[in-house]
Structure 1
């Protein structure tokens, strides 16, 4: 399966023009249901977006730190060095672990200007599944690391913080789609992580292969969590564009 490209690079002027034109069309076409109510939802909506974005910023930093820590901490550096060596030799299993992320099955709009052209309700649902794809892997990561006797506190604590922030971002996204698009069908479909059995294995080699995949993919995906949340805030509220 083709991997998503890195975050698209557009000039600020072009991106602003595209978003401005889209926002004008969206404002003319419809107003989110909760904003039309007497009490409205503007303040809680803005607060929820800001909260989710702050958590995504924290998650992005933690994921990067976790990635670096696994490569340099004595607990895992030897195993990761071996895996990197196998990766250079194009070992099939290790190459897949380093290059394939299960979250791509949610088809996130990470290419070109898909994030501008996709309809907002569909965008929200896709992002919910994208973030939700990490719920099970991170939950089990914390369990498995907690059960390992020699795991450093720095690694375990980061894993716990990552799991918590990811779960809270998903909660915020669910609130947003429920409030802004209450009639939209909210079908969630979180893809399975194919290396979960490796993580839960009694084999340390298998466990570290799973962590190798998880750290690579999470370090990549969290960049897009933050990017998409900012774009969604712009498209739904017209703010911070």
Structure 2
């Protein structure tokens, strides 16, 4: 392993310190062996050496942020930044695919029909257009709830909230890939959304390990009631599921983004 100049300086300093400590220890022991009356002094020297070495060991074991030019790089802060960036990307893509599903000839007729059914208060269409399965997760909704909730519980809640989209997005990509005449622009956005959501979930799991290393996480992702519609052979059922997904995904991505920013502030004290 090749050490940098700064690392060599630190290493040389430590070795020099240890050599000096050994010399002090040797002198103390020699005095003890030669002069019984020096026992007290030698004991003090020995205690000083041992205490100093223990302090070195303790300091070396404390995880510090990684030094870099212009400041200090904190892995926890950077992971929050990564998660927030992914949530921002998710929100933008969710809005884009929502608009495209309404405008592209591949799906515009079906979505227009579903909107008409919502206006007529058709129960099936109304539920698909207004109910999101992620609401089954007990998330903090009021300002004081964000303050009072434990950090680890907050992270676990967000993990389950983001995880609620793992299965729907996976199957969306799967079904779109198998359907005929699917525009590449819609399929590519669906793939990018699925990938960003999966990576965001990974970031949140890493954050949980850092804020609570001993915490055991039980994933409780709610089932998506429109999954059977998406996997159906009937085209209308598939579009009903996409209608639900497109109406919920943007809202949930925005909610995730808001809570990530709050959680970053509570956890790191940054960007409050």
Bin the TM-score by the shorter chain. 0.7 to 0.9
Runs of 4+ in 1 over 4 A off after TM superposition: none
Match of 2:63 among 39, 50, 53: 39
Alpha-carbon distance in 2 for matches of 1:49, 1:40: 17
Counting only pairs closer than 5 Å after superposition, residues 43-54 of structure 1 correspond to structure 2 as 43-54=74-85
Coordinate RMSD, CA, aligned = 1.2
Q: In 2, Cα distance between the equivalents of 1:75 and 1:111?
A: 40
SS in 2 for 1:202: coil
Shift of 1:115: 2.1
Map of 1:21 onto structure 2? none
1:159 alignment partner, one of 161, 185, 190: 190
Which runs of structure 2 are paired with 1:50-199 in the superposition (5 Å)? 50-199=81-230
Offset at residue 124 of structure 1 (A): 0.5
**1:149 alignment partner, SS class:** coil
Q: Is the counterpart of residue 224 in structure 1 residue 248 in structure 2? A: no
The 3-state SS of whatever aligns with 1:138 is helix
Q: Does 1:209 align with 2:240?
A: yes
Measured after TM superposition, the shift of residue 209 of structure 1 is: 0.2
> What do residues 96-129 of structure 1 show as CA deviations (whole Å, max 9, x unaligned)?
1111111111122234542222221111000000
Residue 211 of structure 1, CA deviation: 0.3
Q: Of the two, which has the highest radius of gyration?
A: 2
Of structures 1 and 2, the one scoring higher in RCO (CA 8 A, sep 6+) is 1
User: What SS class does the counterpart of residue 106 from structure 2 fall into?
Assistant: coil
Deviation at 1:40, TM superposition (A): 3.8
Shift of 1:179: 1.5
Q: How many residues align?
A: 205
Task: Check whether the contact 1:110–1:224 (CA below 8 A) recurs between aligned residues.
Answer: no
TM score, norm. by length of structure 2: 0.73
Deviations 1:128-166 (A, max 9, x none): 000000000000000000001210011001000000000
For normalisation by structure 1, the TM-score amounts to: 0.82
8 Å CA contact 1:103, 1:130 repeated in 2: yes
Tell me the distance in 2 between the aligned counterparts of 1:111 and 1:214.
25
Other-structure match for 1:235 = 266
**Secondary structure at 2:221's aligned position in 1?**
coil
Q: Which residue of structure 2 lines up, in the alignment, with residue 17 of structure 1? A: none
Contact kept in structure 2, 1:55 and 1:169, CA below 8 Å = yes
Structure 2, unmatched stretches of 5+, are 1-60, 66-72
More displaced, 176-185 or 216-225?
Answer: 176-185
